[in-house]
Structure 1
Amino acid sequence: MRNIVLVRLLFIAGVQSVTVSKLTDEVSQNSTYHNLNEINAKNVDVFRQLLNQETLIRINLVKNVHALMKDMLTLQEKLTETEGKISRMKTTTDDEISELKKQVEFLKVENAALKNKTTVDEKEIMVLKEKLENVSKTLTDVKVEVRFLSITVFGMNDNLKEIDERFQGLENSTKEIENEARVNDKRNAATLSDLEKRHLTFIDDLKNTTRSLQADIGEYETNQLKISATISSLELFRINQTLSTCDPKQKVAFTAGVTSSSTTWNSGTLIFNMAILNVGNGYNPSTGVFTSPVAGTYVFYVTAVEYSKQYLQVDIVQNSVSMVKLLGDDHADFQTGTNMVVLNLQKGDRVWVRHVSGKGYWSASVPATTFTGFLIG
């Protein structure tokens, strides 16, 4: 495109030069070929003026062509600079588009994971609802049984009162008979024999009454055991119902470990890369930080093994504030430092293990350097 513009400018300059030449002659040739003897003095002056004008016009055209060439070079430089800027902008835009595509893919994956989690939560809620309905039915049956046992106990109490009254009457009768026997001790044999028969009959009645009382007492004790068992079952049911209705997010516990040693670690967070247990998903094995999913009282325990007399000192940290310290001394190889702390955390509080001094740590595929925490209430 630049070459085309340059050719056009040169063409215009040439056309203008030819046009000016034709002012002095109809054909493009030197005027010295005319016969000067045929030209009068007036025409010579006109001719000279025309030559001077042609020379001036040619000079101006050359200046204009040079100016146009200079402008063309300036335009070419600006065009090259503009093309470079456009190329850089295109590269930057492509990078940004690529990054945005990656973020979109990540968001799609995260959205799919959230949908799956929502589906699982909905299924768990349906199961909990079914369990709650079954528990409600069981509770209704237990209430009916308790009412029936209560009615039975009330009836047994009435029977026991009646038995007590009969037993009291028998005791009174016995006393009367004994008194009568003492008064009539010296009576005749026939009367004594009759009294003995009455006494034997009374004893038989007393034995029968005693057996009946023992049977009633045994039945009463059995019913009491049933009531105690029912009350225990109700208590267990209440406890199970309380546990089953608890928020499952209240169960928080984790144990993480380091699966390899380091001889150079000397700053920042100690990352326990393997999560052995992570109930509640509070611990992040990528960052080494535990984030409290719920408010409560937590226990944290850390074991750190120093590497071959290199000395190691670390802190258990809550929200960047050191809470307790542990160290592995350098008087012998692989000294172990341990410590435990109980912390009250709010939801979103963070706890991790931070380097203080020394360097390196020792561990293995079965971890020896570990980080543990759990919710206690």
Structure 2
Amino acid sequence: MEFRGLILPTLLGLVLVGPGFGQRGDADISEWMNAKEKVIKNLEDKLGNVEQCKNDVEALDSRLNATVDELTRQRAETDKLKTENEDLKIRLDATEKQIDELKQNISAKAAPQIAFSASLASFGEIYKGPCTDRTLIFKRVFSNIGNGYNSNTGVFTAPVSGLYYFTFATYGYNTHTVGAILTKNDVLQISTYDSPTADGSDSSSNAAVLQLAAGDEVHVQLWENGRVFDNLNGHTTFSGFLLFPV
């Protein structure tokens, strides 16, 4: 509006102060005034268009500034998300590393497979006892996973520290005490026992869970003056396995 206010008086001054203005007739003056009015009207229209363009430019500039502000905000948000994603990636990598370490530890600590089972007689029939060496050597080995049991000595040696389950059974006739003792490092743990009776034969069994350190020895031995019997039917047996390491 300031531009228009300045330009219009100047134009009007030029129009009104034309050459020979006071020397023309009324018809000429009227015609001249009409022409000048048209010129002024045309100038006013052009000034209006200029002002509209100016308003449009100002509106466009305002929209542009708003767009710049929005882009700046979005960029800041994007940078924030990028930082958060980088932090999440670092945490995820650390978590994956911990999982891998746990897997390795679990794999390293996985319970070894240790189990054995054997009977006294590997062929024919066998009577064991009474004898000086009362250790029962179970020759017929059904399984020996982990090689903890020695079929030459009858002794089981713990490969690793842990809790082990042991069971044994004895069978014999009434002429002698029937039974045996389960020992840990030569110390009595549990036993089976049946004194001589009038019946034809006797059998019994027992079991225990023992905590062993690696290298501890477990074996079965006869009672003093005891005797047991076995054949391929597997009456007198000795078995054990690792429950879990400790």
TM-score using structure 1 length: 0.34
Give the number of equivalent residue pairs. Answer: 138
Q: How does 1:179-328 map to 2 (within 5 A)?
A: 245=107, 250-259=112-121, 260-262=125-127, 264-266=129-131, 267-328=133-194
Q: Paired residue for 1:366? A: 233
Shift of the 369–295 alpha-carbon distance from structure 1 to 2, 3 Å rule, reads same
| Residues 293-338 of structure 1 deviation map (CA, whole Å, 9 limit, x = unaligned) | 0000001101011234322232100001111121133222220121
- Alpha-carbon distance between aligned partners in 2 of 1:242 and 1:337, rounded to the nearest angstrom: 45
Q: Unpaired runs of 5+ in structure 2?
A: 1-99
Tell me how far 1:244 sits from its aligned partner: 8.7
Q: How far apart are 1:365 and its partner, in Å? A: 1.4
1:315–1:354 Cα contact (<8 Å) kept: yes
Matches within 5 A, 1:1-377: 245=107, 250-259=112-121, 260-262=125-127, 264-266=129-131, 267-331=133-197, 332-377=199-244
CA distance in 1, matches of 2:227, 2:190: 20
Letter in 1 for 2:223: V
Paired amino acid for 2:115 = A
The amino acid of 2:118's aligned partner reads A
TM-score, normalized by length of structure 2? 0.51
Describe the shift of the 1:327–1:242 C-alpha distance in structure 2 as closer, same or farther (beyond 3 A).
farther
Residue 354 (structure 1) shift: 1.6
Q: Deviations over 1:122-161 (max 9, x none)?
A: xxxxxxxxxxxxxxxxxxxxxxxxxxxxxxxxxxxxxxxx
Is the helix fraction higher in 1 or 2? Answer: 1
Q: Secondary structure at the match of 1:341?
A: strand
Given residue 252 of structure 1, which amino acid in structure 2 is its aligned partner? I
* Residues 337 and 358 of structure 1, relative CA distance in 2, 3 Å threshold: farther
RMSD: 2.5
Q: In the TM superposition, what whole-angstrom CA distance separates every residue of 1:238-292 from its partner, at most 9, and x where no partner exists?
A: 9xx7899356771111101111321644342011111111010000011000000
Indicate the structure with greater strand content. Answer: 2
Distance 1:343 1:285 in 2: 21
Map Cα deviations across residues 78-135 of structure 1 (whole Å, 9 max, x no partner): xxxxxxxxxxxxxxxxxxxxxxxxxxxxxxxxxxxxxxxxxxxxxxxxxxxxxxxxxx
Instruction: Work out the CA distance in 2 between the residues paired with 1:357 and 1:337.
Output: 17
* Contact 2:179/2:222, CA 8 A, preserved across alignment: yes
